[in-house]
Amino acid sequence: MVQISRWQLVLVVGVLLLGIVLAVPNFIPRDDLEDLPDWLPKQQVNLGLDLQGGAYLLYEVDLASVFEEQLENLTDAVRVELREARIGYSGLDARPAENAVVFQIRDAEQVEAARTRLATLATGTLFSIEDNGSGRIELTEQAVDERRQHVVQQAIEVIRRRIDETGTREPAIQRQGDERILIQLPGIDDPERAKDVIGKTAKLSFRFVLDDVRPGVDPIPAGAEVLPSDEQLGSGQTRQYVVRKRVMISGDNLTDAQSTFQQAQPVVSFRFDSVGAQRFAQATSENVGRLFAIVLDEKVISAPVIREPILGGSGVISGNFTVQETQDLALLLRAGALPAPLTLLEERTVGPGLGADSIRAGEIAAVLGMVLVVGFMSAVYGLFGVFANIALLANLVLILAALSGLQATLTLPGIAGIVLTIGMAVDANVLVFERIREEQRLGRGPVMAIDSGYRRAMTTIIDANLTTLIAAMLLFQFGTGPIKGFAVTLMIGLITSMFTAIMVSRLLVVFWLRRRRPKELAI
């Protein structure tokens, strides 16, 4: 244990230099880091919500609306299939509470034909038509569960794309339970805009307007519905449109959307993929002179007249928009629509002033803990205590470097983990130094005492740190939020403290021993 091989020396020096290089960017302003060459490390420790302020949002995914829409689509499909086959039916209805669609075939002689015709809709369903013509298509439990999982995961991905578009750094987006999504946005300065961007469904569709049907006067035909708009009539009322439920082109076919200007007015330009461009060209070519409604989240935002076929696969959404509204709308269209509406359940906003106070309190605790530990080690173990203090300083540098390199998020409990690590980091040195004292009292010389002290204390050091490391791993695995932050810094601190206590402090002790060759140890 008093022999340091060349590879051990190279390892210790290399790790320390790497730690310094990774830790230094944290002391350089971010604007100055951008001017440095790309090959230099520029990662800084990410501060959590409780340290730099921001927004905490808890949403619930409206899965009921997803299944209602799925059943409505299934109902329309049944209607189309039966009409095309000229099969008489009645009582066609969606039952969301049962996740089923029911209907009645009027003529018993057409039951077999209906079974054959509707068999193509039976994927993921329990499909049956009784001999008396009573039919039922019910979603299976497996299909419902798979759909639920897919919708929540898709919502998380859409939210992530939207937040990334706003430039927010290191957002935390995670699922909670079956239907909830937790979002933490550190450093955000406009929580209201973030809520608008996150919570809007942004479901875009292009549908034809039935301009010969007057809402509130004429009966609404099957396959159509009344949708509001932002247009104001002369009477002060909001204009309503009767539009087909059938979607000609959906927002899923968009490839790009940008905020721009047309005739000095802010608008949103969009472009379709090849499939969407073909559908758009066909729809506009066959319906020149008709109103074509652009529907966003069940509201008509524009209903222009098709003057001529649009064959380029691109278009413009105009309306009474501000520049900020067109930018947000373009962002939402680029990121994609949410598969289901979101309901905001809980909102918390942490101001940057509170975060600064937390950082200041954490710094005071860390510095005070460091001073007390350094003073204790120096007073009790003399020069050997100084060696332990140098190793402790190296440990803090490595913790900072690891947090920067791994891009881990530092939270207030994480600072508590660092403060705890400061006290625990010298435990290994205390065990070694006390063992050296015992060996020296038994009459062994400096070399033998140091060698025996490190060798015999090693098992105890590994056992103590390993058990604590296991506890920290369990906290990380089963904990959430702040608990994970505490576990991360604790795990990193345990690993780095073992390295600095076993390698760095021993390296200093061995160098001193070879240089001074003392006859006895002042420890």
Instruction: Tell the residue number behind the tokens 């937390």, with chain if given.
Output: 358
Smallest CA-to-CA distance from 170 within 58, 59, 57, 44 is with: 44
pLDDT digits (tens, 9 = 90+) for 92-148: 998 888 889 999 999 888 989 988 888 887 777 888 889 888 999 998 888 888 888
Identify the bridge partners of residue 103 per DSSP, sorted by sequence position: 135
Instruction: Please name the CATH architecture into which domain 203-323 falls.
Output: 2-Layer Sandwich (3.30)
Q: From start to end of 27-155, where are the E strands?
A: 46-47, 54-61, 89-95, 100-105, 125-129, 134-139
Return the H-helix or E-strand segment holding 269.
strand 265-272
Identify the bridge partners of residue 347 per DSSP, sorted by sequence position: 57
Smallest CA-to-CA distance from 81 within 104, 114, 107, 103 is with: 114
Confidence of residue 425 (pLDDT cuts 50, 70, 90): confident
User: In CATH terms, is domain 6-52+352-516 a member of 3.40.190.10?
Assistant: no
Entry pTM: 0.62
Smallest CA-to-CA distance from 56 within 204, 220, 226, 172 is with: 172
> Maximum Cα–Cα distance for the chain, whole Å?
111
Identify the bridge partners of residue 104 per DSSP, sorted by sequence position: 90, 134
| Measured distance CA(381)–CA(388) in Å, rounded | 9
Give the chain's mean pLDDT: 84
- The fraction of the chain above a pLDDT of 70, given in percent, is 95
- Reading the block at residue 329, the tokens are 């709308």
pLDDT digits (tens, 9 = 90+) for 198-233: 888 888 888 989 888 888 788 888 788 999 887 877
pLDDT digits (tens, 9 = 90+) for 354-401: 566 767 777 788 788 888 888 988 998 888 889 999 999 999 899 999
